[in-house]
Structure 1
Amino acid sequence: MAAQSPQSPPSPSSHPSGNRLSLPPNTDPPSETNPPTPKVWIVFGATGHIGRSLVKKALSHGDSVTAVGRTHENSLPQMQGWHERCLGLLCDVRVRDTVAAVVKSSIERWGRIDIVVNATGYGVIGACEDQDDSDLRSQFETNFMGTLNIIQLSLPQFRAQAADRKEGENAGRYLIFSSTSGALGVPGLGPYCATKYATEGLIESMLYEVDAFGIKATLVQPGHMRLDESTGLDDKAPDSLDEKDVKLKTYGHFFVKPPSKPYNTPTAPAGHARRIVQWLSGRQPVSAVKGAELVWQLGHCRFPPLRLLLGSFAVESVRDRLRSVIEEIEDWKHLSFPTGEETAKDKKGAKGDKNESDDRDGEEGDEAMDEDANADTLMREDGDEDEA
């Protein structure tokens, strides 16, 4: 299919959301005085809560989107006909060939790629001891290897675009959905946290390698997010759970594993994640639609941050964890190197030792001089005796 040029975006006043949330000015976000240019997105995980909201948000702002559903969960008919500027595809991020097919089809349809989003994810809620090899592999292959597949197969396109970019322009951008679990350990989500820690290390390291090409990346760390909300966008993508074609799961893409006997108590720490998810059902503090507005701005701002935390839960929990790490470092740093007070004491002690040494040397010198004087006296007395 021949490449299509994205249409011009509607004016800011015509945006359906009317949302006033904005990134800070130092990121140079889109605004009425800094109107955005049309972008082409690939959104992996477009049938999840945040993925669907982000697709709708990008379309409402005049961008073009390849919305990627999940193989074995969605069907091509479910992904088709969302919008005239939306290409619906299927993919299993664990399978490189399917990721490569999405990238190729997107380039054929739109002619370029500006922003790649990975909103896919899978987690098993249960104690570390209760999770078997299959549980572990499914989480790492989806969350970590899936992210790596997306990056490795789209980077050549971004690097090719880098040769044609103007001075100061970005050649491409990654928006990778991580989690607060990528910054702190959560009982009941051990392996899932491990996959997010690994993903964060991957992206942070990669940035050093691709920045010279004008390629940027941001790790998005949302707190607990509510189910999809109506955006008012006139498209065919379902807004609610009432639609028969696409079902949004209550707990997202998490599998709650029955606990073994040692961990099956009302207050077991391993059950913390399960209790929180069940208690927050329908009361999640972060809006998927409002979060999608900020993520859309991330795709269009000039200076994106490495990390964007969404919601007060994410901010407070990550800040508390980092504060505890710093406090622990301060408590134990004396085992690694001396503190300023100890260094001063050591210097003072060394100076005192030197003074004592000098005093001893002086005393020894005085004694030697006395001995020499006594010897001279004896020699003179001996000489007098000889003369006599």
Structure 2
Amino acid sequence: MKTWLITGTSSGLGHRLTAKLLAQGDRVAATVRKPEALDQLKKQYGDQLWVGTLDVTDTPAIKQVVNQAFTELGKIDVVVNNAGYALFCAVEEASDEQIRHQIDTNIIGSIQVIRAALPHLRAQGGGRILQLSSAGGQTTYPNFSYYHTTKWAMEGFCDTLAQEVAPLNIGVTLVEPGAHGTSFGTGMVTAPVMDAYDATPAGDVRRAIAQGTFPIKGDVERSVQAMIECVDQKPAPLRLALGGDAYRDVRASLVARLEALDAQKDLALASEMAD
């Protein structure tokens, strides 16, 4: 039996993960903005489920809730940083407030959850951190610029974090799902549309999602099971791509970037100072 701390469990992958873990006998400390979202699971599993109210844009609250969860439950084996959402619009369409909230939730909130958990993980001799990223943490799609900003930022943060905490027996895994049939799509925040972008790739993607022609083939249950199983892998995998689209799109992006880098090899080397 393991004990998990999971943020953003009211819906989507976070809720499915929580339900699956409880069903297999694990304990879960689940955080939500509205605790009633977990009433049914709480009724079914009782003390096996610990519920904390948390908005991850509130840093003092993050510290309080994470500290409380570790204090009341003792050892927590796995911390899953899942809370987040996507701002879906062209770069020019977003408001300053929307940009700030996207960053505060997906970057600052995620970082502060990890920072709050690290002293406890060190004190107990180790643990695992699963950071929900996205295929969009290594590749890009029109209309998701601000979402990509946050996921690419967390990729760099966790890549560095993993190197720092590996000697402390703390493993870090970036979970990179492709498109899955969860409530993620309905939870996307939009902005007023500008006609100037209608005949651009941004408009094409907007129409594909609105018309339901954007392919969604990710199997939520299989992906959740892969997340659960990865915590037993040693060493912890740094990245976990989930879905054929995640594999194909990330691979294509990496290959294109490598080819572009190799094309500049002579220029890069010529820019060094001579010995």
What's the counterpart of residue 273 of structure 2?
none
Partner letter of residue 68 of structure 1? T
Which residues of 2 match residues 154-165 of structure 1 at below 5 A?
A: 154-162=117-125
CA distance in 2, matches of 1:75, 1:281: 34
Partner letter of residue 192 of structure 2? P
Matched, 1:209 2:164: yes
Q: Using a 3 Å threshold, how does the CA distance of structure 1 residues 176 and 250 change in structure 2: closer, same or farther? A: closer
What's the counterpart of residue 75 of structure 1?
35
* 1:118 counterpart (62, 66, 81): 81
Q: Contact 2:208/2:214 (CA < 8 Å) preserved in 1?
A: no
The residue matched to 1:187 in structure 2 has which SS?
coil
Q: Using a 3 Å threshold, how does the CA distance of structure 1 residues 223 and 191 change in structure 2: closer, same or farther? A: same
The residue matched to 2:161 in structure 1 has which SS?
helix
Which residues of 2 match residues 193-342 of structure 1 at below 5 A?
A: 193-227=148-182, 249=183, 251-263=185-197, 265=198, 267-280=199-212, 284-337=216-269
The residue matched to 2:207 in structure 1 has which SS?
helix
1:200-222 residue CA offsets vs partner (Å, 9 max, x unmatched):
11111111211111001100000
Q: How far did residue 277 of structure 1 move?
A: 3.0
The residue matched to 2:231 in structure 1 has which SS?
helix
CA distance in 1, matches of 2:214, 2:253: 26
Q: Contact 1:65/1:87 (CA < 8 Å) preserved in 2?
A: yes
The residue matched to 2:269 in structure 1 has which SS?
coil
Structure 2 residues not aligned, in runs of 5+: 271-275
Partner letter of residue 45 of structure 2? H
Q: Contact 2:7/2:81 (CA < 8 Å) preserved in 1?
A: yes
* 1:146 counterpart (109, 118, 126): 109
What's the counterpart of residue 137 of structure 1?
100
Q: How far did residue 199 of structure 1 move?
A: 0.7
Aligned residues: 267
Q: Using a 3 Å threshold, how does the CA distance of structure 1 residues 139 and 334 change in structure 2: closer, same or farther? A: same
TM-score (norm: length of structure 2): 0.90
The residue matched to 1:150 in structure 2 has which SS?
helix
Percent identical pairs in the alignment equals: 29
TM-score (norm: length of structure 1): 0.65
CA distance in 2, matches of 1:75, 1:60: 20
CA distance in 2, matches of 1:41, 1:281: 36
1:247-296 residue CA offsets vs partner (Å, 9 max, x unmatched):
xx462431122311211x2x322234423433447962011111110101
Structure 1 residues not aligned, in runs of 5+: 1-37, 163-170, 228-248, 339-388
Q: Contact 1:116/1:175 (CA < 8 Å) preserved in 2?
A: yes
Q: How far did residue 75 of structure 1 move?
A: 3.5
CA distance in 2, matches of 1:82, 1:276: 39
Q: How far did residue 58 of structure 1 move?
A: 1.3
Q: Contact 1:76/1:90 (CA < 8 Å) preserved in 2?
A: no
Partner letter of residue 259 of structure 1? V
Matched, 1:56 2:38: no
Q: How far did residue 94 of structure 1 move?
A: 1.1
CA distance in 2, matches of 1:101, 1:273: 40
Matched, 1:172 2:104: no
CA distance in 2, matches of 1:180, 1:283: 14
